[in-house]
């Protein structure tokens, strides 16, 4: 494209976008006034979408007369999303105007879950919570405070608040989401996410549904299409014919859990035919460590011979037998992958890696193809995520917590990627701990997690949870069991910073409260987002700062210093000062760029919403380590070079190899390659780890190199009449809890039937629309069937995006059915009383609601399946599907939580705990990533 109308960082032809020079007064004709030509004037204010993790830029059109947001469109100044959005972006407007949203702080008035609430004030809630948290800290019950986050939507703000409190209280949703994949990537390169350069690839292999959902979906999807437009071939692995698979050149529909077998067959093809990048493998794989374990030769050709020997078992025929995919198809894609050379981009995020036990091997075996082809940090290849991400240094960095929280990091899972969050009810029921103060934020575990009834049992037991606070813009299944429900802003009502690995560059995105920025443009002073948000809706940044201030008003606990203004000591840090400091001091190039437009850095970010820090990051692993970073160096037999110079600090230091130092206290500085000291990868070896010393030393030597093994739903592990249920796929226009408060999205997607192949359906005597029972290990659910050839015969699938429910008619009414919950000891039943109906509200559209269904809440009927290594919940279920009973109705659910306990214990018994397998008396390898890392001495087992 030679000419760009919009000359911003999007670098694409976006003729429909208003030039930024006219963002202060953009004129459009009022469509409602047609045929009259009535002009409306808008102030265009950027912010960041919060409807998935991609953090695309939005541009709010704020009417200069009414002061209301008319619409959201894409922000062409955003380098990641380049002015484009999916349907969920513009639907942010529905969330702002949602008639059912929570507008005021609420306090429980009856029993937990009874649905009785009274309005309270922010002051009362803050003082009560601050006193409770202070007491827990002072009485050394710090492990009783927990913050549990679903979608963080920010880069570290709240983690630093918890660090300021001195607690190891961070809990995330990651182990029900992406831990499987993260583990596989981390084992290879020390960083847990891929950053594929799809746009420049020759061959793209997706084990995901990136053209409709997936991680960084819109930014990646548009680059996949760029790649395809440039001639790239697209291979998609998905048992289901997803919308992404329909765009593929090769749709591979494997038996779930067999993906790694196919990938290893492709790897074997590359190895046996010498089609890999020999120089790259020789220089950048830790093959010497592997050969050393065998005590044999140390020559690269010996390693090549061993590779050929080890992987020869993974023939196309073997892969075909495991996966049910034709030999010919596997051979064809192997040849295609081989033809890509270093322009091979690939991605697996949730999908297969989140479905089965050992799912982490899918990402590990996928990245092995990149590692064989040398397609690592190359144009058209895959970069480690941290190199394509920019995290600025904040105004304060509190120290690492002086404690280890066993409730989130139990010793049975020393190699888990993230907190064992979904086991919380079981760990508390085991008597391992109790919680005094429990926050959830953008998180709805009763609905999202497996085994939701066990969560209800936990939340309704005051001996297990003392005070539960739901921070949420909208009603959800978990919030009904809260003591406090505190209303937080939706995406356009809050501040956050983001940077994600959307392509080979580094950018920083700024989410901001649109109305605050619009009114500031008019010269108003806005001190607090509650002044501009609906009702008393607040934003979390300000909430956490104020809560922290009140926990330690006099500063005696040493906490207050982290939320104190530098400009006006003795007063609480404000939001403008917080972001001003970051933009002034931590973002290279931003002050200069802002000055060129006569703006301060904060004004620049408020005006444009994003800043491109750097393009084309390239091969950081191959950079030479600067001589100033080397002093008194020591090199070990594997080429690891240690130095006495401390690790450099400063903004956005790309992670250097940072595992343990040498015996004399030097830190790892780099890796000797061809006589030069290079930066390498942040792994224990400094190289790409074909051989994982970590797995080997921590009790899993049989898995120390990429391999394939039978999953919990392998054919050999299924019982009589059992089949596999795929339960993980997203619907393109829904996103867990928060999108349900968007009427446009609900109108498009409001049901989740069971996908079933015609041959399978015929055996069951079932047709589309007939009800079926899906029986899991702990109960069943009832759902209509959808007979389709878009699923592998014998496998069934149901999206997890539906089945939202509420206990009374109050609350969200556009996608939450009203249900009756019956409870007899361990046995729980949920039955729909009322579907979705039109209703009267300030929004006339709610009278036009025509859909009645809200789908079924299948996750409730799943027990926990924690992978013994990654800690990932393995979502796929071995189920029996049969025609429904005469009394069954859509959405019916039955569960026995005593059975959930049995399944939990069965999976717990598969672990290899740190106190038996740790090679060095620690709880976890120190080099592995961990949110809110405790101080090093707390890694030691007691
Ligand atoms: S992909 Fe869609 S939902 Fe996600 S951030 Fe972008 S616009 Fe929002």
Q: Which tens digit of pLDDT belongs to each residue from 590-636?
A: 999 999 999 999 999 999 999 999 999 999 999 999 999 898 889 99
Q: Which residue has the tokens 């695309």?
A: 56
Name the residue of 47, 50, 52 to mutate for ligand 1: max ligand atoms within 8 A of Cβ: 52
Cα–Cα distance for residue pair 418/924, rounded to 1 Å = 12
Nearest to 255, CA basis, from 851, 936, 705, 794:
794
What's the CA-to-centroid distance between 712 and ligand 1, angstroms?
33
Q: Are 797 and 727 in contact (CB under 8 A)?
A: yes
Copy the structure tokens of residue 392.
Answer: 């600025």
Q: Which residue has the tokens 């940072």?
A: 658
Cα–Cα distance for residue pair 242/212, rounded to 1 Å = 8
The reported pLDDT for the residue numbered 243 is 92
173 burial class (0-12, 13-18, 19+ CB within 10 angstroms)? buried
Cα–Cα distance for residue pair 918/941, rounded to 1 Å = 9
Binning pLDDT at 50, 70 and 90, where does residue 10 land?
low
Atom in ligand 1 nearest the alpha carbon of residue 84? 7
Residue nearest to atom 1 of ligand 1 (CA): 218
Q: What is the DSSP string of 470-535?
A: EE-SS--TTGGG-SEEE-B--GGGS-EEE---SSSEEEEEEE--HHHHHHHHTT----SGGGTSST
86 in contact with ligand 1, CB cutoff 6 A: yes
Nearest to 450, CA basis, from 309, 355, 376:
355
Phi, psi of 270 (to 5 degrees): -65, -40
The reported pLDDT for the residue numbered 648 is 66
pLDDT over 60 (residue 414): yes
Specify the DSSP element, H or E, that contains 138: helix 122-138
Q: Are 371 and 688 in contact (CB under 8 A)?
A: yes
Q: Give the angle subtended at the CA of 290 by the CAs of 288 and 295, to the nearest 5°.
A: 85
Q: Are 716 and 322 in contact (CB under 8 A)?
A: no
What's the CA-to-centroid distance between 815 and ligand 1, angstroms?
20
Q: How is residue 712 annotated by DSSP?
A: T
Q: How is residue 758 annotated by DSSP?
A: H
Name the residue of 46, 47, 50, 51 to mutate for ligand 1: max ligand atoms within 8 A of Cβ: 51
The reported pLDDT for the residue numbered 12 is 60
Q: How many Cα atoms within 13 Å fall on the side-chain side of residue 138?
A: 10
Question: Which of helix, strand or coil describes residue 612?
Answer: strand
Residue 527 neighbours by CB distance under 10 Å = 11
The pTM of the full predicted model, rounded to 2 decimals, is 0.96
Q: Write the CB contacts of 22 (distance below 8 Å, at least 6 apart in sequence).
A: none
Atom in ligand 1 nearest the alpha carbon of residue 92? 8
Phi, psi of 488 (to 5 degrees): -110, 155
Q: Which tens digit of pLDDT belongs to each residue from 739-781?
A: 889 999 999 999 999 999 999 999 999 999 999 999 999 999 9
90 in contact with ligand 1, CB cutoff 6 A: no
Strand partners, 55: none
* Sheet of 344-348, strands arranged across: 250-252, 233-237, 203-207, 344-348
Q: Are 391 and 155 in contact (CB under 8 A)?
A: yes
Residue nearest to atom 2 of ligand 1 (CA): 86
What's the CA-to-centroid distance between 589 and ligand 1, angstroms?
27
Residue 178 neighbours by CB distance under 10 Å = 26
Cα–Cα distance for residue pair 669/674, rounded to 1 Å = 16
The reported pLDDT for the residue numbered 645 is 85
What's the CA-to-centroid distance between 730 and ligand 1, angstroms?
13
Atom in ligand 1 nearest the alpha carbon of residue 52? 4
Q: Which tens digit of pLDDT belongs to each residue from 191-213?
A: 999 999 999 999 999 998 888 88
734 in contact with ligand 1, CB cutoff 6 A: no
89 in contact with ligand 1, CB cutoff 6 A: yes
Cα–Cα distance for residue pair 809/833, rounded to 1 Å = 10
Pairing verdict, β 795-797 and 723-726 = parallel
Pairing verdict, β 465-471 and 484-486 = parallel
Nearest to 210, CA basis, from 246, 174, 181, 250:
246
802 burial class (0-12, 13-18, 19+ CB within 10 angstroms)? buried
49 in contact with ligand 1, CB cutoff 6 A: yes
Cα–Cα distance for residue pair 176/690, rounded to 1 Å = 26
Q: Write the CB contacts of 384 (distance below 8 Å, at least 6 apart in sequence).
A: 185, 189, 190, 191, 193, 194, 195, 376, 377, 681
* Sheet of 505-511, strands arranged across: 496-498, 505-511, 610-615
The reported pLDDT for the residue numbered 130 is 98
Q: Are 690 and 676 in contact (CB under 8 A)?
A: no
Residue nearest to atom 4 of ligand 1 (CA): 52
Binning pLDDT at 50, 70 and 90, where does residue 14 land?
low
Atom in ligand 1 nearest the alpha carbon of residue 74? 7
Strand partners, 234: 204
Q: How is residue 807 annotated by DSSP?
A: S
The reported pLDDT for the residue numbered 654 is 45
Residue 479 neighbours by CB distance under 10 Å = 25
Q: How many Cα atoms within 13 Å fall on the side-chain side of residue 403?
A: 20
217 in contact with ligand 1, CB cutoff 6 A: yes
Atom in ligand 1 nearest the alpha carbon of residue 739? 3
Q: Which tens digit of pLDDT belongs to each residue from 635-682?
A: 998 999 998 888 765 444 444 445 667 777 788 889 999 999 999 999
The reported pLDDT for the residue numbered 669 is 87
Q: Rounded to an integer, what is the distance from CA 30 to the centroid of its chain? A: 39
Largest CA distance in the chain: 86
Question: Which of helix, strand or coil describes residue 678?
Answer: strand
pLDDT over 70 (residue 11): no
417 in contact with ligand 1, CB cutoff 6 A: no
What's the CA-to-centroid distance between 56 and ligand 1, angstroms?
5
The reported pLDDT for the residue numbered 640 is 92
The reported pLDDT for the residue numbered 651 is 40
Cα–Cα distance for residue pair 738/472, rounded to 1 Å = 9
Question: Which of helix, strand or coil describes residue 673?
Answer: strand
Q: Which tens digit of pLDDT belongs to each residue from 325-354?
A: 999 999 999 999 999 999 999 999 888 999
The reported pLDDT for the residue numbered 338 is 98
Q: What is the DSSP string of 214-236?
A: STTHHHHHHHHHHHHHTT-EEEE
Q: Are 874 and 906 in contact (CB under 8 A)?
A: no
Copy the structure tokens of residue 859.
Answer: 């996750």
Atom in ligand 1 nearest the alpha carbon of residue 58? 7
Question: Mean pLDDT, to the nearest integer, of 879-896?
Answer: 97
Copy the structure tokens of residue 832.
Answer: 């729909």
330 in contact with ligand 1, CB cutoff 6 A: no
What's the CA-to-centroid distance between 60 and ligand 1, angstroms?
15
Q: Rounded to an integer, what is the distance from CA 721 to the centroid of its chain? A: 34
Axis-axis angle for helices 259-272, 316-323 (nearest 10): 170
351 in contact with ligand 1, CB cutoff 6 A: no
Q: Which tens digit of pLDDT belongs to each residue from 247-257?
A: 999 999 999 99
Q: Which residue has the tokens 């392998």?
A: 714
Strand partners, 439: 147, 469
Name the residue of 217, 221, 742 to mutate for ligand 1: max ligand atoms within 8 A of Cβ: 217
Q: Which tens digit of pLDDT belongs to each residue from 353-377?
A: 999 999 999 999 999 999 999 999 9
336 in contact with ligand 1, CB cutoff 6 A: no
Q: Which tens digit of pLDDT belongs to each residue from 823-865?
A: 999 999 999 999 999 999 999 999 999 999 999 999 999 999 9
Cα–Cα distance for residue pair 397/26, rounded to 1 Å = 41
Residue 713 neighbours by CB distance under 10 Å = 26
Cα–Cα distance for residue pair 240/233, rounded to 1 Å = 20
Phi, psi of 592 (to 5 degrees): -65, -45
What's the CA-to-centroid distance between 9 and ligand 1, angstroms?
18
């Amino acid at each position: 494209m030679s000419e760009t109308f919009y000359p911003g960082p999007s670098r694409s032809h976006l003729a429909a976008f208003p030039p930024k020079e006219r963002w202060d007064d953009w004129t459009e004709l009022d469509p409602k006034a047609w045929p009259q030509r009535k002009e409306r004037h808008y102030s265009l204010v950027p912010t960041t979408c919060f409807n998935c993790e991609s953090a695309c830029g939005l541009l709010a059109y704020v009417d200069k007369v009414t002061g209301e947001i008319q619409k959201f469109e894409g922000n062409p100044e955003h380098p990641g999303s380049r002015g484009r959005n999916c349907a969920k972006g513009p639907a942010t407007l529905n969330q702002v105007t949602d008639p059912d949203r929570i507008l005021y702080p609420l306090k429980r008035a009856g029993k937990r879950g009874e649905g009785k609430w009274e309005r309270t004030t922010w002051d009362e809630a803050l003082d009560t919570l601050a006193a409770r948290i202070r007491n827990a800290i002072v009485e050394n019950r710090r492990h009783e405070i927990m913050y549990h986050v679903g979608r963080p939507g920010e880069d570290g703000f709240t983690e630093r608040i918890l660090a300021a409190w001195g607690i190891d209280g961070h809990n995330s949703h990651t182990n029900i989401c992406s831990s499987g994949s993260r583990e596989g990537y981390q084992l290879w390169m020390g960083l847990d996410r891929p950053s594929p350069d799809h746009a420049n690839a020759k061959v793209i292999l997706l084990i995901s549904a990136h053209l409709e959902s997936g991680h960084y979906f819109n930014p990646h999807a548009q680059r996949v299409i760029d790649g395809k437009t440039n001639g790239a071939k697209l291979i998609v692995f998905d048992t289901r014919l997803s919308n992404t698979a329909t765009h593929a050149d090769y749709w591979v529909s494997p038996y779930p859990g067999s993906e790694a077998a196919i990938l290893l067959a492709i790897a074997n093809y590359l190895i046996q035919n010498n089609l890999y990048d020999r120089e790259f493998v020789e220089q950048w794989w830790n093959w010497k460590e592997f050969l050393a374990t065998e005590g044999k030769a140390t020559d690269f050709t010996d390693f090549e011979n061993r590779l050929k020997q080890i992987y020869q078992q993974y023939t196309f025929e073997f892969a075909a037998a495991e996966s049910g995919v034709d030999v010919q198809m596997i051979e064809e894609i192997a040849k295609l992958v081989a033809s890509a050379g270093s322009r091979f981009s690939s991605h697996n995020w949730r999908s297969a890696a989140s479905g089965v036990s050992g799912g982490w091997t899918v990402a590990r075996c996928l990245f092995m193809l990149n590692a064989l082809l040398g397609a690592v940090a190359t144009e058209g290849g895959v970069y480690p995520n941290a190199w394509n991400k920019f995290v600025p240094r904040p105004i304060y960095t509190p120290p690492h917590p002086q404690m280890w929280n066993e409730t989130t990091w139990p010793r049975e899972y020393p190699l888990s990627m993230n907190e064992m969050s979904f086991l919380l009810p079981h760990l508390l029921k085991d008597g391992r701990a109790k919680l005094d103060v429990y926050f959830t934020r953008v998180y709805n575990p009763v609905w999202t997690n497996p085994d939701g009834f066990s969560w209800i049992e936990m939340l309704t037991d005051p001996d297990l949870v003392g005070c539960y606070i739901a921070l949420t813009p909208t009603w959800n299944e978990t919030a009904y069991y809260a003591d406090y429900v505190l209303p937080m802003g939706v995406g356009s009502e809050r501040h956050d910073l983001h940077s994600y690995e959307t392509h080979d560059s580094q950018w920083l995105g700024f989410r901001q409260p649109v109305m605050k920025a619009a009114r500031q443009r008019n010269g108003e002073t806005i001190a607090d987002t509650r002044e501009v948000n609906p009702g008393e809706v607040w934003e979390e940044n300000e909430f956490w700062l104020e809560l922290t201030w009140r926990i330690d008003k006099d500063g005696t606990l040493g906490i207050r210093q982290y939320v104190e203004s530098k400009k006006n000591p003795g007063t609480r840090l404000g939001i403008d000062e917080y972001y001003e400091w970051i933009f002034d001091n931590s973002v290279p190039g931003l002050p200069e760029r802002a000055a060129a437009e006569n703006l301060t850095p904060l004004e620049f970010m408020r005006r444009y919403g994003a800043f491109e820090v750097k393009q084309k990051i390239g091969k950081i692993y191959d950079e030479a380590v600067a001589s100033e970073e080397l002093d008194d160096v020591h090199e070990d037999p594997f080429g690891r070079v240690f130095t006495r110079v401390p690790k450099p600090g400063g903004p956005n230091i790309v992670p250097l190899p940072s595992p343990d130092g040498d015996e004399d206290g030097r830190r790892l500085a780099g890796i000797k390659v061809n006589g030069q000291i290079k930066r390498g990868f942040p792994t224990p070896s400094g190289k790409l780890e074909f051989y994982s010393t970590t797995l080997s030393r921590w009790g899993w030597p049989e898995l120390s190199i990429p391999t394939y093994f039978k999953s919990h739903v392998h054919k050999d592990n299924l019982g009589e009449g059992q089949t596999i249920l795929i339960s993980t796929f997203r619907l393109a226009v829904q996103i867990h809890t928060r999108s349900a408060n968007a009427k446009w999205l609900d109108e498009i997607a409001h049901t989740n039937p069971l996908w079933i192949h015609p041959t399978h359906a015929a055996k069951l005597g079932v047709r589309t629309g007939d009800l079926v029972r899906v029986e899991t290990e702990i109960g069943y659910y009832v759902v209509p069937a959808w007979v389709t050839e878009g699923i592998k015969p014998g496998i069934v699938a149901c999206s997890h995006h539906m089945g939202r429910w509420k206990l009374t008619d109050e609350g969200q009414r556009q996608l939450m059915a009203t249900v009756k919950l019956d409870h007899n000891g361990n046995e729980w039943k949920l039955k729909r009383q009322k579907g979705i109906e039109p209703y009267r509200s300030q929004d006339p559209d709610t009278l036009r609601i025509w859909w009645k269904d809200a789908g079924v809440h299948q996750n409730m009927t799943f027990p926990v399946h924690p992978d013994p290594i990654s800690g990932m919940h393995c979502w796929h279920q071995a189920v029996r599907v049969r025609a429904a009973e005469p009394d069954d109705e859509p959405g019916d659910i039955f569960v026995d939580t005593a059975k959930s306990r049995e399944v939990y214990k069965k999976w717990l018994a598969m672990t290899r705990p740190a106190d038996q397998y740790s090679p060095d008396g620690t709880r976890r390898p120190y080099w592995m990533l961990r949110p809110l890392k405790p101080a090093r001495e707390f890694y030691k087992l007691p």
